A and B are shown apart, each in its own frame.
Chain A
Amino acid sequence: MTGSLPLSSLGGAIEFIFSEQTSNVTGGQKVGGFEQAMELTLNQLEVTVLALALALVVALPLGLYLGHKGKGEFILVGLANGGRAIPELAVIALVAALIGVGLVTVAPALAILGIPPILTNAYVGVRQVDRATVDAARGMGMSELEIIRKVELPLAVPTVMGGIRGATIAIVATATIAPLAGVETLGDFIINASIYGDDGRLAGAILVAVLALTLEGLLALLQRRLTSDGLKVKTA
């Protein structure tokens, strides 16, 4: 190992992010710098958001519906466990090898990774709403759709958002290694350290961590905004 002190590595990494460096390998061509860092970050954001949107469109309505009806629990539990067991590296590799490289193939693959947590949590979130509350709503004359919208969904927000946050974490993590399938994300700095150097590699790691934590933080804030005040009150 280089034996360099962590602090000096950090210094090098910060420098890499903000100013262009000379690379050892590509002979003179500059690497790093703010522009490139931003480009890769935006790429990662793009594929993440796309995949998340796809996953939401598929999994959220389905999960809410199944939860409302109370069907499919067995399959969903299996799906949740199974989804966790799939190594993201294999997914990216197979997509690259068998389907094709680029955003068009990678985004759906990432979406598939994000579907299990959203689906399962949407189901559980609706399911755990007190049946008595739903009964009362139905007795008051609400249509099934109104019940989902006005009663079950608001009460299910914490659990559902938990699922969305979990999906986002999984998608961001996999998006990091998307360069293997032709989508240039921050993982490029990490995987191709030979070009970018140790500094670049650490810089990539830092940027990925910051990106992931920022997204998680934003979603946490969103969850707080969406959670009704009644739910936020904790009983002693």
Chain B
Amino acid sequence: MNSPLLLAAAGEVGSDFFKERSSDTLPCQAKPNEVFCFDWARENIDRFGTPTVQHLELVLISLLLGFAVAFALSLLAHRRKWLQPPLLGATGVLYTIPSIAFFFLLLPVTGIGKDTAIIALAAYTLQIIYRNTMLGLDNVPSSAKEAARGMGYTDRQILWRVELPLATPEIIAGLRIAVVSTIAIATLAVFIGGGGLGTQIYGGGNLTFPTSIFIALAIVLLMALLFDLVLLTVQRLTTPWRKARQT
């Protein structure tokens, strides 16, 4: 069975886009096999503005949400060891389900729009951040914990002043992976009406064209690179002791 060409409105950008297209007579971007059309790019670069902002919004909110939940779960599982396997399994399930399917599993509950996208994206990051946080906490040298306890630190003080600071590198490593993945997956938000750069790849029920796709791709990759570098810098700044080696 073939998918018929339909004017199903998946978003406002879609219908606008269609109108614009039909008014031209085979411009460079519509030519088959035209890989990149610089003229079009130059003229239409500002149409990527709003989608980029939407994309950023999706990424930042879902990361904050995902981090908050995963971090809370880690602290819980750190105290109660028996929670670790089930939590790992549960977050693993969320990670395994393809995001686009996840959007529509949530649909009956949360509806169309960016909220659903955000919840699904956040769910995807849970396992990454949870696992890395647990790893970081496990790697804290037990001699430091023992000394802290013997010196008179309470359990809570040990967690916040010794364990978590020392686990920071792993936690941030997890965040970096989560950020990069989320930026990529957020392109799928277009399918659930969540906006984002995916709208420039698949708009109006149809794939767009190479030039637009390439630009969207480039913005996504650049965003990922930027966030990765920022987090790397944050890690360097918050862990000065790692640079110090025996002189």
Check whether chain A touches chain B (CB < 8 angstroms).
Answer: yes
Query: Which residues from chain A sit less than 8 Å from chain B, CB to CB?
Result: 1, 4-6, 9-10, 25, 81, 84-90, 93-94, 96-98, 169, 172-173, 176-177, 179-180, 184, 187-188, 190-195, 201-202, 204-206, 208-209, 212-213, 216
Which residue of chain A is the closest to B221 with respect to CB atoms? Answer: A85
Cα separation A195 to B8 with both chains bound (whole Å): 10
- List of A residues within 8 angstroms of B181 by Cβ: 84-85
- Select which of A6, A93, A176, A188 is within 8 A of B109 by beta carbon: A6
**Would you call B101 and A90 a contact (CB within 8 A)?**
no
Question: Considering the chains assembled together, what is the distance between the CA atoms of A81 and B221 in angstroms?
Answer: 11
B194: shortest Cβ distance to chain A, in Å? 13
**B234 in the interface (beta carbon within 8 A):** no
Across the A-B interface, how many residue pairs have beta carbons closer than 8 Å? 137
CB-nearest residue of chain B to A5: B108
Instruction: State whether the Cβ of B1 lies closer than 8 Å to any Cβ in chain A.
Output: yes
Cβ B228 vs Cβ A89 within 8 A: no
For chain B, the count of residues having a C-beta within 8 Å of the partner chain is 53
Q: How far is the CA of A190 from the CA of B48 in the complex (A)?
A: 26
For A169, the chain B residues whose CB sits under 8 A away are 95-96, 98
Q: Is the CB of A89 within 8 A of B201?
A: yes
A212 touches B108 (CB 8 A): no
User: In the complex, A94→B201 CA distance in Å?
Assistant: 9
Indicate if the CB atoms of B220 and A97 lie closer than 8 Å: no
Decide: A173 near B108, CB < 8 A? Known: A180-B207, A194-B8. Answer: no
Residues of B within 8 A of A213 (CB): 93, 96-97
**Contact indicator B177/A93 (Cβ below 8 Å):** no
Bound-complex Cα distance A205 to B97 (A): 9
The answer to whether B207 and A93 touch across the interface, beta carbons within 8 angstroms, is: yes
Chain A residue at minimal CB-CB distance from B228: A81
Q: Give the docked Cα–Cα distance between A187 and B188 (Å).
A: 12
* A190 and chain B: residue at smallest CB distance: B104
When C-beta atoms are compared, the residue in chain A nearest to B190 turns out to be: A89
Q: Give the interface SS of chain A, mostly helix, strand, loop or mixed.
A: helix
Q: What are 8 residue pairs bridging A and B, where the CB atoms are less than 8 Å apart in the complex?
A: A84-B181, A85-B183, A87-B188, A88-B184, A90-B216, A90-B220, A204-B104, A208-B101
B3, A89: Cβ atoms under 8 Å? Answer: no
User: Min CB distance, A42 to chain B, in Å?
Assistant: 15
Nearest-neighbor residue (CB-CB) of B183 within chain A: A85
Q: B101, A205: Cβ atoms under 8 Å?
A: yes
Q: Which residue of A lies closest to B178 (CB)?
A: A84
Q: Is the CB of A94 within 8 A of B177?
A: no
A9 contacts across to B, CB distance below 8 A? 107-108
Which 10 A-B pairs give the minimum distances between C-beta atoms? Answer: A173-B98, A205-B104, A208-B101, A85-B224, A1-B111, A9-B108, A6-B108, A87-B187, A87-B184, A205-B101
| Interface pair B201/A93, CB less than 8 Å apart | yes
User: Chain A contacts of B187 at CB under 8 A?
Assistant: 87-90
User: In the complex, how many angstroms separate the beta carbon of B186 from the nearest chain A beta carbon?
Assistant: 8
